[in-house]
Amino acid sequence: MLKRKSNMSLKNSFAGYALALVLTCATLLSAGTTVFAQADQIPTDEQAISNGKALFEDNCTVCHSVHERVVGPALKQVIEENRSLPWIISFVQNSQKVIQSGDKDAVALYNEFNKTEMPSFAFSPEQITSIVAYIKHETENPPVKEVAEVPEGGTGPAVSGGTGVSSEYLTILLVVLLVVLVLILIVLALIVSVLTGYLKKDQQLEEADREIVESKFDLQKLLTNKAFLGFVVFAFTAIVLKTVIDGLFMVGIQQNYQPKQPIAFSHKIHAGQMEIDCNYCHTGVRKSKSANIPSANICMNCHTEIKKDSPEIQKIYAALENDQPIEWVRIHNLPDLAYFNHSQHVKVGEVECQTCHGPIETMDVVYQYADLTMGWCINCHRETELNTEGNDYYTKLVQLHNEHSKEPMKVVDIGGLECAKCHY
Ligand code: HEC
Ligand code: HEC
Ligand code: HEC
Ligand code: HEC
Ligand code: HEC
Ligand code: HEC
């Protein structure tokens, strides 16, 4: 009986160490994200942050995002630029007053944003402080969503800022911790073996102790050791959980969306190698809102002769015989609340298809290249010069513009940031 007990206690103390280690690492890991938080006048409690979030979403998201420039600046900037709380409060309560007082920062911002007036908000200092608390919280915990922005997409340079540092950081932290854990376990095992070696020489050991000292390290024992199993399960769960969470945040992000199409139609062959004009198939693109997906009849202009025995081409025949349209899966899709017009961009603006759709002529299967967010539209309107040459409609406007500005006329200057232009 006694033998048993001392055996257990040695095992237990080892188990205790391992468990304590695992727990420490777990706490460290969860603390990793909040390490940055530093105390000052901006509250960090959940109540303030959630109040601020509600206020922000109801009043500010139309023009601001924490991480991206929209109509107004990315508000993480107030944290990064270390704006003082009283300054932010007076700016939100009445930005025009601050600007007119000649405040350098405010005037610079106002000019940077083409003298867009931010509306005044009759909020109390506490309410504004809570919004700042929310902004600070978001700045320090950027959403995982941004990780999904794969580098090949996106055209607006300001849209795809600061991608996924926090998640990468966490993964590295996790791996480092696991390595450290394993190293510590190895060191512990070494210490145990050195100690037993030393004890073996000691002739005056009691019978019970001798048995423990002489017992061999065996794999089976290790595999049935609760602490060891606990550690393996912990590591495994952590990794699986992280993968699942990352996966969940990808849902709903349409960028790079590449569904399988019913017929293996390739833009690489048709638009790339054969250089068929986009307009030949997408007949609406220069004259209407929609580009249009070609009907099977257009395919038949060629495929009555070309490759007519190919099973893929047979699918076109089948569609025509059954009088059924080919069910192409739609890739690009704006929500109903937004209005986008192809002819305005392609014909009037002379924007290349590739600017928005990427290198279509190299794609065997089309995917969504840009993220199609409001910020994406707006950034381009802010940066793109108007194509005014030979367009009588613009002659007068350009004259007026040049009288008070040295900058070239951009889409913003004809109201490209006005809500009603893009929203019904
Ligand atoms: C109609 C658009 C609009 C709305 C709504 C709006 N803002 Fe602004 N905001 C701007 C613009 C534009 C600027 C840039 C300065 C300027 O042009 O006056 C700005 C600037 C700011 C700044 C200064 C940023 C800096 O870098 O220091 C803060 C802070 C701010 N806004 C907070 C808010 C908050 C909080 C709300 C919601 C309660 C809000 N804004 C709602 C348009 C808006
Ligand atoms: C021979 C006809 C043909 C030509 C030429 C062609 N396309 Fe297409 N395009 C299609 C068909 C069919 C589809 C639907 C199937 C698919 O997505 O691959 C499509 C789909 C697309 C889509 C995705 C539409 C969606 O669902 O959101 C884009 C974008 C596109 N084409 C752009 C272009 C551009 C840009 C060019 C010129 C460089 C071009 N296409 C040339 C036939 C054509
Ligand atoms: C201007 C002529 C032309 C038009 C219009 C055209 N194609 Fe093609 N298509 C070709 C040629 C040429 C090939 C290449 C044949 C080869 O590989 O030798 C081809 C190849 C294909 C293939 C690959 C067939 C295989 O088995 O290799 C498919 C699928 C296809 N086209 C579908 C379509 C569809 C769908 C449309 C209508 C949206 C369409 N094509 C419109 C000329 C055309
Ligand atoms: C300024 C950006 C921009 C340019 C330039 C552009 N597109 Fe698009 N395209 C879009 C957007 C945004 C959508 C989604 C529209 C929607 O859902 O209402 C789209 C959708 C499409 C679709 C899907 C079907 C449809 O009728 O809307 C096709 C096909 C397409 N574009 C082809 C083209 C071709 C071909 C060109 C060049 C001649 C072109 N696009 C130029 C932004 C652009
Ligand atoms: C690659 C740059 C680019 C992108 C991206 C872009 N646009 Fe434009 N947009 C333009 C240009 C250039 C014009 C000016 C065309 C002209 O001369 O009328 C324009 C004009 C417009 C106009 C008319 C503005 C006016 O005052 O008459 C609307 C509406 C519009 N775009 C909506 C959108 C929407 C919605 C999106 C996003 C889904 C979008 N645009 C994305 C470049 C872009
Ligand atoms: C150049 C075009 C353009 C302009 C200008 C524009 N928007 Fe948008 N807006 C969009 C597009 C495109 C979407 C859809 C984006 C998406 O699905 O992510 C959108 C989405 C929205 C949404 C829904 C957001 C959501 O998360 O569902 C709101 C609210 C909104 N816009 C308000 C405004 C207001 C207010 C203004 C004026 C200050 C404005 N927009 C100006 C193009 C524009």
> Within a domain: residue 153?
no
Residues 404, 293 share a domain: yes
Determine the pLDDT at residue 15: 47
Q: What pLDDT was estimated at residue 340?
A: 96
Model pLDDT, residue 41: 81
pLDDT tens track for 27-79: 444 433 333 333 358 899 999 999 999 999 888 887 788 988 877 899 999 99
Note whether 9 and 77 are same-domain residues: no
The pLDDT of residue 405 is: 83
Choosing from 224, 250, 276, the residue where a domain stops is: 250
pLDDT surpasses 60 at 160: no
Structure tokens at 50: 């959630």
Does residue 287 sit in the same domain as residue 400? Answer: yes
Distances (CA, A) of 176 to 17, 28, 141, 147, 234: 19, 12, 21, 21, 15
pLDDT higher than threshold 60 for residue 149? no
Same domain, 305 and 196: no
When pLDDT is cut at 50, 70 and 90, the band that residue 381 belongs to is very high
Residues 282 and 405 in one domain: yes
Quick: pLDDT tens for 99-109: 999 999 999 99
Q: Is residue 292 domain-resident?
A: yes
pLDDT class for 193, splitting at 50, 70, 90? confident
φ, ψ dihedrals at 355, nearest 5°: -60, -40
> Same domain, yes or no, for 287 and 366?
yes
Residue 41 lies in a domain: no
The residue with greater pLDDT, 112 or 199, is 112
Range of the domain at 385: 267-422
Q: Which of 250, 282, 301 is the last residue of a domain?
A: 250
pTM here is: 0.61
Q: Are residues 277 and 407 in the same domain?
A: yes
* Residue 330 scores a pLDDT above 80: yes
* Same domain as 402, residue 327: yes
Check pLDDT > 70 for residue 260: yes
So what's the pLDDT on residue 4? 45
pLDDT at 129: 95
Cβ 386 under 6 angstroms from ligand 5:
yes
- 120 domain-assigned: yes
345 CA distance to ligand 5 centroid (A)? 6
Asked if residue 363 has its Cβ within 6 Å of ligand 2, the reply is: no
CA–CA gap between residue 283 and residue 300 (Å, rounded): 16
pLDDT of residue 118: 86
CA 214 to chain centre: 57
- Separation CA 44–CA 135 (nearest Å): 11
Average pLDDT over residues 316-332: 92
Statement to judge: residues 124 and 201 lie in one domain: no
Say how many Å lie between the first and final Cα of the chain, rounded: 84
Residue 155 belongs to some domain of the structure: no
Same domain, 134 and 239: no
State the distance from the centre of ligand 1 to the C-alpha of 212, rounded, in angstroms: 71
Question: Which residue lies with its CA nearest to atom 35 of ligand 6?
Answer: 62
Asked, for residue 35, whether it belongs to a domain, the answer is no
Check whether residue 213 and residue 316 sit in a common domain. Answer: no
Quote the number of domains for the chain. Answer: 3
* Closest protein CA for atom 25 of ligand 5: 416
**Which residues have C-beta atoms less than 6 Å from ligand 3?**
263-265, 269-270, 274, 276, 281, 294, 298-299, 301-303, 306-307, 310, 312-313, 316
- Ligand 3 centre to CA of 270 (Å) is 7
pLDDT given for residue 254 in this prediction: 73
Q: Atom 42 in ligand 4: which residue has the minimum CA distance?
A: 356
